[in-house]
Chain A
């Protein structure tokens, strides 16, 4: 049973870079047919897709965040990571990592991490 777990600082200062890691257990991140994704949810608000990465390193980002986002993958550690630069209070949110499958459908998020709250504040 594949599981995802986010980790990283819960508090980031304005203008700094938010860094989170998602560890994949119970399966290989190098399995074809899956895109490894980051999604966030502002407090009391809806879901916002940030981007995803294929194990080969191909990345796709939300155009509204593209200039500040980098998603990378470390297949040796079975992890993928999110970096969001120049953060402001507007980046305060719960950040989820998720697996997007293209095996049985198209970009469906079938497995999610529990989410981690990141607050941007000085």
Chain B
């Protein structure tokens, strides 16, 4: 199973919106509505931000939203804040209860 494809880096200014893409195939992202997104600050464990493409866990800001079109899922962060600067990873369920992560995207808040 190959890692899902994410841009290595994205950047934005405070208050702006950014979108991070996560591209897979019809066997993973495109085949299931089971994409999750994780935020990881340096030296910390990842934190779940979005699950099942567009659902937010309790406690996650509504500035974070997810969507999917075909084989590409997207994470959008609106009203960018300094504390959003982190690495972001997508993951997708594959068949037979296995899953795969994306390569990660470094978000820089300018």
A96 close to B36 (CB less than 8 A): no
Interface size band for A: 20 to 34
CA distance A108 to B91 in the complex (A): 9
Within 8 A of A (CB), among B25-81: 32, 34, 36, 38, 45-48, 51-52, 55, 57
Known: A46-B101, A60-B96, A113-B45. A104 touches B3 (CB 8 A): no
Complex Cα–Cα for A114 and B43 (A): 9
Q: Mark A57-87, 1 if CB is under 8 A from B, else 0.
A: 0001111100000000000000000000000
B101 surroundings in chain A (CB, below 8 A): 46-49
Question: Within 8 Å CB of A62, what residues of B?
Answer: 1, 98
A47 touching B46, Cβ below 8 Å: yes
User: Which residues from A are CB-within-8-Å of B98?
Assistant: 49, 60-63
Complex Cα distance A109/B89, Å?
Answer: 12
CB pair B91–A49 under 8 Å, yes or no, is yes
* Nearest CB in chain B: distance from A12 CB, A: 21
- The answer to whether A105 has its CB under 8 Å from any CB of chain B is yes
Q: Which of B1, B34, B48, B99 contacts A64 (CB 8 A)?
A: B1
| Inter-subunit contact B100/A109 (CB<8 Å) | no
Mark out the residues of chain A between 22 and 74 whose CB falls within 8 Å of any chain B CB in the assembled complex.
Answer: 35, 45-49, 60-64
Tell me the B residues contacting A by CB distance below 8 Å.
Answer: 1, 3, 32, 34, 36, 38, 45-48, 51-52, 55, 57, 89, 91, 93, 96-104
